Chains A and B, each alone.
Chain A
Amino acid sequence: MKRMNAARVRAAIIRYLLLAVGTVVFTLPMLYMISTSLRPNGALYEYPPRFFPKPEALTLENYDYILRQSKFYLNFLNSVLVSVSTILLAAAVASAMAFVLGKFKSRGTKTLFAFIIITMIIPGTTMIVPQFELATKLGLVNRLWGLIPFYVAWVIPFSTFMIKGFMENIPGEIMEACWIDGADVWTVYTRVALPLASPALASVSIFNFLTAWEEYPWANTVINDNNRRTLPIAIAGFFGQHQFTQWGYVFAMSVLTLIPVVLIFILCQKFFVQGLTAGSVKG
């Protein structure tokens, strides 16, 4: 028995050691980004390069520069507007579809659901040419709100799939009771289904927020106007602007862009894991 325990302790130590080392190696790139954003811009060409800045050289001048630019606030606001509109619209249309597809099964609804899921196989970027043509025809090019319908359409399959799983778990007896009481479909959807599916809505919305917040290829294709840029385009633009990239500015802006994401991620961890594992474990 004693030998068993010793072996177990040794195994645990090895596990923690491997995890700790792995985690440190894993975080190096992010730490380097933060450390670069905290040193004077001119020092970026100092040789030799240092992982940690000299303590006496630590400075917030890059942040000061970014935060004094009105463009940054505009880009930030653009990203917030697009992301929030996307998650609200997606939650509304996807939950309505998930309710019907999950609770009123027929050959028709099953086929429709299968069709929606199959489109997930196609990488989004392959559709960029016809989508660009469509955006041109509809006058959505270079319009901030023109991004939103594309993002909503993009996240519909995953959102519907996730929320549908929750809708299916609503007991049939509850629904029956509602029909007997003379409730109509709309009432059952808004008063019964939506509240019960709210955890699924929360986790779907977090994912959709991330998708919209970081989307680059599409926004970069249709938005040219500086003032209508979202944050990823603004950062990428910063990078290509000068012959010598001002890495301090780029990474200060990157850190500012990541703060809301990391906050949301840490605060909503539970919903995150739920959302990720919903599709995978069932297989």
Chain B
Amino acid sequence: MIQKSRVNRAQLFALLLPGLLVFGMFTVYPIVRLFWMSLCDMRFSSMLTQPFAGLLNYRQVFGDGTFWMVFVNSVVYTLITVPGQMVIGLFIAVLLNGIKRFSVTFRVINYLPVVTSWVIASLVFRYIFNTEGLLNHFLWKVLGVTSGNIRWLDTRWSGLSVAMILGIWKGIGWNMVIFLAALQQVPKDLYEAADIDGCGAWKKFVCVTLPGIRGTILFALIELTIGGFNVFTSIKMITGGKPAHQTDTLLTWMYYKAFSTGQFGYAAALSFVMALSLGLLAIVQFRMMRSREA
């Protein structure tokens, strides 16, 4: 303890300073600024005059039918892609956990979509789901389950489905890796005890595995929920929000309002509502898992 007092506080602060400056300026300031912008009548065309407008932007956001449509899109996207990637990722992890050979090979191949950039992956999916593309040909001419080319990218739910399939495909690898690591931490003697009690594979999974990886499930749930609402590039590249914003999500709609119509105030209010809701949602998710633990 005596030695601790020799530690030079100024030097400690100097080590913190560069990081704090960058973080403060480019992350914290924008968050604070976002809140302020959401209260002002800010437009791209007149960035110098920003009259205080109170809750005007919020009223506009919540009174806007398009907002509620893209809100539903984002919620559906998250509700489908988050459990989708978690269940498939966990399933693959369980399979991988029980084999000895080729485990690394399977892991590497299944992780490749994660490191593929969103722009590239989105273009590949757009190409596959093109009206004259490979999938339609396969469904119609090879399998014969459809009676013509489906215009996947031209309607609300089929366009969103393409983005959701991409989202799940791209997220499975991440889930697989973190669940595999979690499975390896579940104590072996618990499984042996379950064996002695005559539990089947499914019973063991429900009674031993799932409780054992609860922390990781919570971690994935929070991370992926944020990720689901963060969906942006795939929508931009696959449908571009067409037709008439029906496939837009919260962020692509926000981006359109900000950079195509110049309504910065509206975009800021929408962003702030999103950031706040996700924060609250993370707390709720955290609490839910905690209470189940008790």
Flag if A266 contacts B124 (CB, 8 Å): no
Convert A108-122 into 0s and 1s, putting 1 for each residue whose CB lies closer than 8 angstroms to a CB of B: 000010001011111
Flag if B271 contacts A127 (CB, 8 Å): yes
**A binding-site residues for B, Cβ under 8 Å:** 11-12, 15-16, 18-19, 22-23, 26-27, 29-30, 32-33, 36, 45, 47-49, 51, 89, 92-94, 96-97, 99-101, 104, 112, 116, 118-134, 136, 149-150, 152-154, 156-157, 160, 176, 179-180, 182, 184-186, 189, 210, 213-214, 216-217, 221, 232, 235-236, 239, 247, 250-251, 254, 257-258, 261-262, 265-266, 269, 272-273, 276-277, 279-283
Known: A104-B12, A185-B11, A265-B112. 10 other contacts (CB 8 A): A12-B98, A15-B95, A51-B134, A125-B251, A126-B251, A179-B4, A217-B232, A272-B177, A280-B219, A281-B216
Q: Is B242 interfacial (CB-CB < 8 Å)?
A: no
At the interface, is chain B mostly helix, strand, loop or mixed?
helix
Convert B257-274 into 0s and 1s, putting 1 for each residue whose CB lies closer than 8 angstroms to a CB of A: 011000010011001101
**B binding-site residues for A, Cβ under 8 Å:** 3-4, 6-8, 11-12, 15-16, 18-20, 22-23, 25-31, 33-34, 37, 47, 92, 95-96, 98-99, 102, 104, 106, 108-113, 115-121, 123-125, 127-128, 132-134, 137, 141, 169, 172, 174, 177-178, 181-182, 185, 214-216, 218-220, 222, 226-227, 229-230, 232-233, 236-237, 251, 254-255, 258-259, 264, 267-268, 271-272, 274-275, 278-279, 282
Flag if A126 contacts B115 (CB, 8 Å): no
* A28 CB → nearest B CB, Å: 9
Q: Lowest 10 CB-CB distances: which A-B pairs, in order?
A: A283-B215, A214-B117, A153-B26, A93-B19, A179-B3, A123-B230, A277-B181, A126-B271, A185-B11, A130-B33
Alpha-carbon separation in the docked complex, A236 to B119 (Å): 7
Flag if A280 contacts B178 (CB, 8 Å): yes
User: Which residues in A have their C-beta under 8 angstroms from that of B34?
Assistant: 126-127, 129-130
Flag if B255 contacts A128 (CB, 8 Å): yes
Query: How many residue pairs between the two chains, A and B, have CB atoms under 8 Å in the bound complex?
Result: 268
Alpha-carbon separation in the docked complex, A216 to B30 (Å): 19
A–B complex contacts, Cβ < 8 Å, 9 sampled: A15-B98, A122-B31, A122-B278, A130-B33, A156-B22, A185-B7, A280-B181, A283-B215, A283-B218
User: Which residues in B have their C-beta under 8 angstroms from that of A185?
Assistant: 7-8, 11-12, 15
